[in-house]
Amino acid sequence: MLTVWSKRTRDKDYVRRVLISRRRRKDADASPSLTWLESVRAKKELETNEQDQIHFKDEFKTLFNTYSPKWTEDASFNRVHWLNRVIDAAWPNIDTGVSKTVKESVEPILRDMLPESVTWIGFEKFTLGPRAPTLCGIRSHSSHMENSILDIELTWASSCEIIVTLYAFGIRFPVSLRQLQLKCLVQVTFDPLVDIIPCLGAIEACLMGMPEILDFGLFLPGGIDLMALPFMHGFVKRTVKSSIEKMLLYPYKLHIPIMEASGIEESSTGMMRIRFLKGNAFYKRRNYSRLSRKKGKASSLMRNMLKSDNYFIKYWTREQRQLSTPPRLGDAPSWDGVEDSFVLCDRETPLTFRLLKQGAERISNYGEASITCGEIADRGPGPIVLELPFIDPTYYKKECPLEYFAAADGYTHEQIMTRSNEITEWHKKSEEEADEARMKYFYRCIEEQNKTKTPGGKKFMHPTMTVELEYIDTGAPDEFDEDYEQGLLTVELLEGRNLLRVKDLPPNPMAHVSCAKQTYTSARKLKTSQPKFNERFVFYNVIPDVDPLRIEIRGFEVSLGFVEIDVSLVRQNVIMKDVFKLQGVAKGEIELLLQYAPMSTKNAVHRIPVL
């Protein structure tokens, strides 16, 4: 009707004004208008709420960035809620056991340190309280040795109560510690891992940094809080730091034996690096199937699939510490891309390899190869490549001509036992002779293998394995100051970026990588400012606190920059992948992947820090 009327009047502005007024009336009925004073108060209240919200956000960000758990910023740390539940359930028993152990171990040390004026000192009360510590995250280290290493982030808001009492001149002086709150990163090493129950020789623990003591209370009789006194808080912290710095702060470790002699065998003076390359002529093995390749003809893919012979190699320097390679298929398998392995050894220790078939490990000993580590060391220094034949373990074995006596045949007990001992001695002597004969045959096969050749290549008499070996001496000088930990530093040189041009031409970069008196050189990349190196170097006997990593990029006649990296940072982070800016030049970067693994050596190396 309104529209009809507007058409009659031809006044569209009037219609628009009427619609706007109706809309305003509806809004006024829905929300009544505020007075001027009410609107000012509402505006101030809104601004105050916004400021409080912003202040809360900033404060929360600051607190979270300061005390956030490791797993929120480091993907290598894992959350362990289930383990916290186990600790909570077992905490009353842990409290009792730890309290008893600390009293028995610490009280004698305190009494030995007493002056003559103090007659007695000890724990009057020691309880950790009902609250268990919280494990915020755990990170496991990849170690090449016979151990397992864990980094544990621990926070503890305890309600502990520890009262230390001393008597001097007949007067009792109690000092109590309460409400301790701390945060720390603890490294626990299970070393060594053994094959006898409980499968753990000892535990080593240390702090990777000074613990953050967030709060604590130290009280004298009468409820006097020492922390309320000026400068006392800093004094106590300095005292705690000086006390634990040479006991628990890395590289010093607390050693807790589990087994007799901590499960440690005789210390090794060296280590062998093993890199498996390929196998050859596995069809020469004993009991080869009919589906295998025929003599003089290449093995087809179908035959390999039908016979499904997956081979792997076991190797060891000690019988109870056996390692194995990943399984591979075919007569000439390749282990290209498999990471290097490391085994502890001495120069007199034999390194043994055994060829086995997957799925039939107990009955498929298809040959063994054994060589002494001293022979590898004498051929060094540096890596050497050998082709070792697998000799059938039944070679040169003889049948015993003696027979056992039986009581049914009228023999006495003494005669039966005498014959049994004779047979045992005969087998022992025969086995020694067979081992010696196989060893001579093993070296003779190596010589003939290197001499005898055919137009198609070498003539294999046995299955062979091509392996790269390097003997690493981990011994230390006689004089050293501290028992530093040594480790393996793996450096992967990935690529260079924006390297300095020489005479307006792309450079020809080559990298010199050095650490712990060891130096490697990469391949030279011609005429490029963006080289792709993709090379891997391993450094041994590296002391993180002493040995820096230095990488220098060089052209033909000019230096393109260098970078020095603190290995202790790599040791703390385990794995680092980052881009480092080259020093000494205007521009240039290199991308590196660094990894550190402890060698668990008990010896120390004394070096002068590089300035």
**Partners of 277 in the beta sheet?**
none
Q: What is the mean pLDDT of residues 475-483?
A: 46
341's tokens: 């392995």
342's tokens: 């490391």
Q: What is the pLDDT of residues 172-188, one digit of tens each?
A: 878 888 888 888 888 88
Q: In the prediction, which pLDDT does 143 show?
A: 64
Q: Which residue has the tokens 């929360």?
A: 60
75's tokens: 């993907």
Q: Is the pLDDT of residue 549 over 90?
A: yes
**CB distance 400 to 426 below 8 Å:** yes
Instruction: Give the separation between CA 599 and CA 576, rounded to whole angstroms.
Output: 19
Q: In the prediction, which pLDDT does 268 show?
A: 67
Q: What is the pLDDT of residues 536-548, one digit of tens each?
A: 888 888 888 888 9
Q: Is the pLDDT of residue 59 over 60?
A: yes
Q: What is the mean pLDDT of residues 454-469?
A: 70
Q: In the prediction, which pLDDT does 514 show?
A: 92
If residue 57 lies in a helix (H) or strand (E), which one and from where to where?
helix 36-67
Select from 121, 135, 29 the least CA-distant residue to 81. 135
pLDDT band at 56 (very low <50, low <70, confident <90, very high): low
Instruction: Give the separation between CA 559 and CA 53, rounded to whole angstroms.
Output: 55
Q: What is the pTM of this model?
A: 0.55
Show Cβ contacts of residue 483 under 8 Å, excluding neighbours closer than 6 positions. Answer: 251, 602, 604
**Partners of 609 in the beta sheet?**
none
Q: In the prediction, which pLDDT does 83 show?
A: 87
Q: Is the pLDDT of residue 252 over 90?
A: no
Q: What is the pLDDT of residues 112-155, one digit of tens each?
A: 777 777 778 888 888 888 888 888 888 887 665 667 888 888 88
CATH H-level superfamily of 479-598: C2 domain (2.60.40.150)
Show Cβ contacts of residue 595 under 8 Å, excluding neighbours closer than 6 positions. Answer: 142, 489, 490, 492, 570, 574, 575, 576
**CB distance 372 to 345 below 8 Å:** no
Domains 276-471 and 479-598 share a fold: yes
Over the range 541-577, which residues count as b (16 or more CB within 10 Å of their CB) and which as e? bbbbebbbbebbbbbeeeebbbbebebbebbbbbebe
**CB distance 130 to 123 below 8 Å:** no
Return the higher-pLDDT residue of 121 and 40: 121
Q: Is the pLDDT of residue 527 over 70?
A: yes
Lowest mean pLDDT, pick from 60-64, 111-115, 407-411, 555-559:
60-64
Phi, psi of 416 (to 5 degrees): -65, -45
First to last CA, the chain: 97
Q: Which amino acid is at 565?
A: I
3-state SS record for 552-608: EEECCCCEEEEEEECHHHHHHHCEEEEEEECECCCCCEEEEEEEEEECCCCCCCCCC
If residue 492 lies in a helix (H) or strand (E), which one and from where to where?
strand 487-497
400's tokens: 């015993």
Q: Is the pLDDT of residue 306 over 50?
A: no
Q: In the prediction, which pLDDT does 483 show?
A: 56
Chain CA centroid to CA 447, Å: 41
**CB distance 423 to 404 below 8 Å:** yes
Show Cβ contacts of residue 197 under 8 Å, excluding neighbours closer than 6 positions. Answer: none
Q: What is the mean pLDDT of residues 216-225?
A: 72
DSSP string, 228-273: GSTTHHHHHHHHHHHHHTTTTBTT--EEEE-SGGGG--SPPSEEEE
Show Cβ contacts of residue 471 under 8 Å, excluding neighbours closer than 6 positions. Answer: 270, 271, 272, 273, 345, 347, 373, 376, 377, 380
pLDDT band at 296 (very low <50, low <70, confident <90, very high): very low
**CB distance 281 to 465 below 8 Å:** no
Q: Is 185 helix (H, G, I), strand (E, B) or coil?
A: strand
126's tokens: 């020691």
If residue 43 lies in a helix (H) or strand (E), which one and from where to where?
helix 36-67
Instruction: Give the separation between CA 542 and CA 513, rounded to whole angstroms.
Output: 14
Q: In the prediction, which pLDDT does 562 show?
A: 92
Q: In the prediction, which pLDDT does 291 show?
A: 40
Show Cβ contacts of residue 502 under 8 Å, excluding neighbours closer than 6 positions. Answer: 555, 558
Q: What angle do CA 475, 489, 313 make, to 5 degrees?
A: 80
Q: Is the pLDDT of residue 89 over 80?
A: yes
What CATH number has the domain spanning 276-471? 2.60.40.150
Q: What is the mean pLDDT of the chain?
A: 76
Q: What is the mean pLDDT of residues 352-362?
A: 76
Q: What angle do CA 551, 553, 559 make, to 5 degrees?
A: 120
Q: In the prediction, which pLDDT does 455 show?
A: 43
Q: Which residue has the tokens 């393109």?
A: 560
Q: What is the pLDDT of residues 415-439, one digit of tens each?
A: 888 888 888 888 888 888 888 888 8
Q: Is the pLDDT of residue 563 over 90?
A: yes
Spatial strand order in the sheet of 549-554: 518-521, 510-515, 549-554, 559-565
Q: What is the pLDDT of residues 188-219, one digit of tens each?
A: 888 777 767 777 788 888 888 888 776 677 77
Instruction: Give the separation between CA 577 and CA 275, rounded to whole angstroms.
Output: 24
Instruction: Give the separation between CA 550 and CA 571, rounded to whole angstroms.
Output: 16
Q: Is 52 helix (H, G, I), strand (E, B) or coil?
A: helix
**CB distance 471 to 272 below 8 Å:** yes
pLDDT over 90, % of the chain: 6
Q: In the prediction, which pLDDT does 292 show?
A: 44
pLDDT band at 484 (very low <50, low <70, confident <90, very high): low
Phi, psi of 593 (to 5 degrees): -120, 115
The residue extents of the domains of the chain are: 2-50, 81-263, 276-471, 479-598
Q: In the prediction, which pLDDT does 457 show?
A: 45
Going by their DSSP bridges, the two strands 148-157 and 118-127 should be labelled as unpaired
Select from 264, 97, 249 the least CA-distant residue to 187. 249
